[in-house]
Amino acid sequence: MRQQIQEALRLSKADYTEIRLEEKESTRVVFQGKDLENIGSVLDKGGIVRSLIKNKGWGVATFNNLEDLANKVEQAYQCALVASSPEPIELVEVEPVDTTIPANLERDFRDVSLAEKKSLAERYNEVMRGYSERIIDTYAVYSDSLSRVILANSQGTYIETERPSVAVVAAAIARDGDNIQQAYETDAGPFGFEYVLEKDELALKAARQAVDLLSARPVKGGVYPVVLDPLLAGVFIHEAFGHLSESDFVYENPKAQEMMVLGRRFGKDLLHVYDDGSISGLRGTTLYDDEGTPGRRNWLIKDGVLVGRLHSRETAAKMGEQPSGNARAINYRFPPIVRMTNTAIDNGATPFEEMIKDIKLGIYACDAYGGQTQLENFSFSSGYAYMIRDGQIAEMVKDVILAGNLFSTLENIDAIGNDFKWAFTSGGCGKGNQYPLPVGMGAPHIRIQNVTIGGE
Ligand SMILES: [Zn+2]
């Protein structure tokens, strides 16, 4: 295969050519209510060629049949010939790499029988169903996948990577009269089958949360000091801030360019934010991105000041900055675009008890349940939340929606916890029509003053 790929690249007439081939095996088991809803394995195989003619633009060819790569390279070249980029496209220089990155699985899920995977999902489903008579519906999923990706380009890069993923999802719906509440928990990572064993507690938590929410009162709308748990803080920094750091967006959007000026103050001195694809064992780990650029730690906010952003080779060249290793594609059907890897608020110094002890009336918001962002405005629903009264965690409340302006919210972060945690949630990030891309999110608890909470 290597020989065919290199021969096809050698014949290319473009200024730059890249071939990415992928073979992905995946398995999924879904229980809904008392029924097995879906079970099966899929093998997906294909490739993409991307060609660049500097004064014209990119040409792309995608395919499922991996024969005759030279012809696919020619197709991409023909597309590039008729492209009409408004300005010449340059790629920032990246050292060619020749390497293999195998998956290192303790127990390879490809060697586990479908029956065992089924009984695992069934067990988590039964844990939820057995929790309470008020649980009226459940959804339990086991899934795994392993992608083998070969990336080669005309500059000498040849990288073979195995990307594993294993996940469980447990969702429960509880009912009391016409009061219906739901909760879900997930756990996922680039690991073997061993990772998703013994997750009864996760299923139990989803069921318990849904039932507890039945007796929670809706939160009273207003402006509160809010403490976010690490999961919600991670989602917040990814959604509300991280996407604005993606340079393809910044470059194309004049409003974003105005907002994202390096050196601009975004928060107090205690706020540090980074994106890092080089940490192994996380959902967004990208030792080499889909252009062959090595992942690294990219500081985005340091001491409260905007200091960096995320790049592909093209955006780095356009903006005269360093490549950051953030060109990622969800699969072989798409060219890479600028994406986050593992994005985090760096650990701070404040213990949780310290953070809440001076709050007379506030909210402790946990877990995210969807949200929206539009440039600097965001709104998020927390999965569940509690009131904070006189420095103590008090009763559970529901329907907590945090809304606000990114800049004033970041500025209002006045305490950062010392309990940093990476989230290992399933699902992923969406951009354009590339969804779900596995990403990592991390944060400690954070406290934000003056947050507008929607509610009754
Ligand atoms: Zn996202």
Q: How far is the CA of 15 from the centre of ligand 1 (A)?
A: 32
Rounded to 5 degrees, what are φ and ψ at 129? -65, -35
Domain 2-215 bears CATH identifier 1.10.600.10: no
Neighbours of 145 (CB within 10 A): 20
Q: How far is the CA of 239 from the centre of ligand 1 (A)?
A: 5
Burial class (CB in 10 A: 0-12, 13-18, 19+), 43: exposed
Contact status, residue 269 vs residue 340, Cβ threshold 8 Å: no
Q: How far is the CA of 409 from the centre of ligand 1 (A)?
A: 19
The predicted pLDDT at position 250 comes to: 87
Q: How far is the CA of 341 from the centre of ligand 1 (A)?
A: 10
Q: How far is the CA of 44 from the centre of ligand 1 (A)?
A: 24
Domain boundaries, the chain: 2-215, 218-454
Q: How far is the CA of 241 from the centre of ligand 1 (A)?
A: 10
Q: How far is the CA of 439 from the centre of ligand 1 (A)?
A: 8
Q: How far is the CA of 169 from the centre of ligand 1 (A)?
A: 19
Could you tell me which of 125, 164, 122, 160 has the C-alpha nearest to residue 26?
A: 164
The predicted pLDDT at position 374 comes to: 87
Q: How far is the CA of 328 from the centre of ligand 1 (A)?
A: 13
Q: How far is the CA of 12 from the centre of ligand 1 (A)?
A: 35
Indicate the pTM of the whole model: 0.96
Q: How far is the CA of 153 from the centre of ligand 1 (A)?
A: 28
Rounded to 5 degrees, what are φ and ψ at 377? -105, 135
Show Cβ contacts of residue 415 under 8 Å, excluding neighbours closer than 6 positions: 270, 348, 350, 354, 355, 446, 447
The predicted pLDDT at position 252 comes to: 87
**Which protein residues have a CB closer than 5 Å to ligand 1 (ion)?**
429
Q: How far is the CA of 53 from the centre of ligand 1 (A)?
A: 31
**Which residue, chain included where needed, has tokens 């205690």?**
270
Q: Tens-digit pLDDT profile for the chain (456 aa)?
A: 999 999 999 999 999 999 999 999 999 999 999 999 999 999 999 999 999 999 999 999 999 999 999 999 999 999 999 999 999 999 999 999 999 999 989 999 999 999 999 999 999 999 999 999 999 999 999 999 999 999 999 999 999 999 999 999 999 999 999 999 999 999 999 999 999 999 999 999 999 999 999 999 999 999 999 999 999 999 999 999 999 999 998 888 999 999 999 999 999 999 999 999 999 999 999 999 999 999 999 999 999 999 999 999 999 999 999 999 999 999 999 999 999 999 999 999 999 999 999 999 999 999 998 778 888 999 999 999 999 999 999 999 999 999 999 999 999 999 999 999 999 999 899 998 999 999 999 999 999 999 999 866
Q: How far is the CA of 421 from the centre of ligand 1 (A)?
A: 18
Q: How far is the CA of 243 from the centre of ligand 1 (A)?
A: 6
Q: How far is the CA of 236 from the centre of ligand 1 (A)?
A: 10
Q: At what angle do helices 200-214 and 114-129 cross, to 10 degrees?
A: 30
3 state DSSP class of 200 = helix
Q: How far is the CA of 162 from the centre of ligand 1 (A)?
A: 23
Show Cβ contacts of residue 320 under 8 Å, excluding neighbours closer than 6 positions: none
How far apart CA 351 and CA 359 sit, in angstroms, is 14
The predicted pLDDT at position 456 comes to: 61
Provide the sign of the torsion angle of the four alpha carbons 235, 239, 241, 245, taken in this order: positive
How far apart CA 134 and CA 162 sit, in angstroms, is 43
301 bridge partner residues: 273, 306
Q: How far is the CA of 47 from the centre of ligand 1 (A)?
A: 25
3 state DSSP class of 295 = coil
Radius of gyration, CA atoms only, the chain: 24
Q: How far is the CA of 377 from the centre of ligand 1 (A)?
A: 15
Q: How far is the CA of 337 from the centre of ligand 1 (A)?
A: 13
Could you tell me which of 316, 302, 320, 296 has the C-alpha nearest to residue 263?
A: 302
